[in-house]
Every structure is written in structure tokens, then in C-alpha cells.
Amino acid sequence: MRHAASARRERENIDRGPLLAVLGVSLDPDLLELALTHRSYAYEHGGVPHNERLEFLGDSVLGLAITTTLYRDNPELPEGELAKMRAAVVSTVALAEVATTIELGQYILLGNGEELTGGREKASILADTMEALFGAVYLDKGQDAATETVMRLVGPLLQDTERFGAAMDPKTHLQEAANERGAPAPEYSIESTGPDHDRRFTATVTVGDLVTATGTGTSKKHAEMAAALTAWTELNARAS
């Protein structure tokens, strides 16, 4: 327990200067602290405020910035295509990738339970914290600064919307890729290892004689999704 308490104090006192440099803004320290405070930490510290309200705000800030950019830059695309592109880059998968790139996980204030179960690498926590930061920038610096921050960090993903779209629903994308190539439907098989409380699953997917790929996860669903995304990526790489 002493070691855990010491680690927590170090986390609370970590230099956030590099994070602010990546965001490109100077934020009010209290607002920044709020944006980085997960509810698990708040619960363990007497119910201090946490970042979920900022996350709610940041979701809209993010959505407006991306929607405006897509509308302006793609005058030829219909609403349905624009909606797919937006969904891809504001998805948990995409935001978690951005968060990982800027090493956001090390700055998040987590409770001990989340800390011990790898919370700093959980896509949902990383994505939610990114949105909270966008909300914080909006409150402290205004809409223009928030839009600039969103586009600096998330904007580049607009060049790769197909990949993030596939990551959201890889099994469907793999099925469509198989259909386009006249291949049989993907076939999945599952193996598992470990005790019941810590089971790991490995999925293997085969698309005719085109590709065979594997993926792992803590559930059958996650393992199959990981395998499907790998197979889809390999098929697309060959096509290009």
C-alpha cells in the first residue's frame, strides 16, 4: 500500500508541460486537473469532481470541428459518406490512437482499481480523456482555439478514415472485402487459455485461400474483431 500511495503522489505531481505543448495551449491548472481526473480516482478521494461533464462538452466540440471540416473540404460527397467519415475519426479507436501517440495515459489520474487493471491503456479511458481535454480548451480558450487543437491532433486522421471505419466494425468490413473479391465468407475458429477469471481468447479467421489471420482478446468477440481487422488490413495492403 505504501508503494501504491507513493506512485499515486508521483502521478499527481507529474510535469504536465509536455502535454500542454502537444495541445498547443496553456490551460488553467485546475481545469487541466479536472480534465485528467477519471471518476475512479474521484471515487477514491472523497467524491472530488471528475472529467465526465468536460467529456460531454468535448464530444460536441470535437464533432463540430470535424463536421465543419468535412463539409467544407468535400463538397462533392453526400451526407451518408460524410457521416461515415466523421464516425470513423471521432470513434473510440481513433481517439485512443491519438491519445497513445501523445502519451496521454501517463497524465491521467486513476483509482487503484483501474491502475491495477491497465486503465492507462484502455481505449475507452484514453478516448474519454481526449474529449475532456477538448472541452477544457473550449472553456478556457474559446471555440477557435478548441477547433485548432482538435484539427492539430485529430485532423490528420481524416486522411485514413477507411482504416478507422474498419476498426469500428472489422467483421463487416472483412465480409464486404471478401464479397468484392468473390471469396467465400470469412470463417472463424476460437481457442482459449488461462483460468476462468483471466481467460484469453485467440481467434483465427480464414477468407478462402486469400488470407488467414489471428487475433487475441479477453473475450471471443474482441478476439474475432482483432483477427478480422488484421485480415482486412492484409487484404487492403495487397490490393494497393
pLDDT (tens digit, 9 = 90+) per residue, 143-173? 999 999 999 999 998 988 888 778 878 999 8
Instruction: Kindly list the strands in the beta sheet with 200-207, ordered across the sheet, starting from the edge strand earlier in the chain.
Output: 187-193, 200-207, 211-217
Q: Where in the chain is the domain with CATH 3.30.160.20?
A: 170-238
The one catalytic residue among 114, 115, 131, 224: 131
Any binding-site annotation on 55? yes
Please, which pLDDT band fits residue 194 given cuts at 50, 70 and 90? confident
| 28 flagged as catalytic | no
Which residue(s) pair with 216 in the sheet?
202
Chain centroid to CA 91? 6
Residue 151 burial class via C-beta count within 10 angstroms: exposed 0-12, middle 13-18, buried 19 and up: middle
Closest CA to 154 of 45, 47, 54, 58: 58
Structure-block grid coordinates of residue 232: 482486412
Q: Where in the chain is the domain with CATH 1.10.1520.10?
A: 1-167
4-8, 76-80, 236-240: least confident range = 4-8
Any binding-site annotation on 28? no
The one catalytic residue among 59, 97, 115, 224: 59
Structure-block grid coordinates of residue 188: 472463424
| 59 flagged as catalytic | yes
How many secondary structure helices (H) and strands (E) does the chain include? 13, 3
Query: Does the pLDDT at position 116 exceed 80?
Result: yes
Any binding-site annotation on 10? no
Looking up cell 470469412 gives 186
Q: 63 in helix, strand or coil?
A: helix
Query: Does the pLDDT at position 50 exceed 80?
Result: yes
Q: Domain 1-167 belongs to what topology?
A: Ribonuclease iii, N-terminal Endonuclease Domain; Chain A (1.10.1520)
Percent of the chain with pLDDT over 90: 65
What is the reported pTM?
0.77
Which residue(s) pair with 184 in the sheet?
none
Q: 193 in helix, strand or coil?
A: strand
Q: Look at residue 12 in the predicted model and tell me its pLDDT.
A: 62
Q: Domain 170-238 belongs to what topology?
A: Double Stranded RNA Binding Domain (3.30.160)
Please, which pLDDT band fits residue 3 given cuts at 50, 70 and 90? very low
Closest CA to 85 of 100, 95, 74: 74
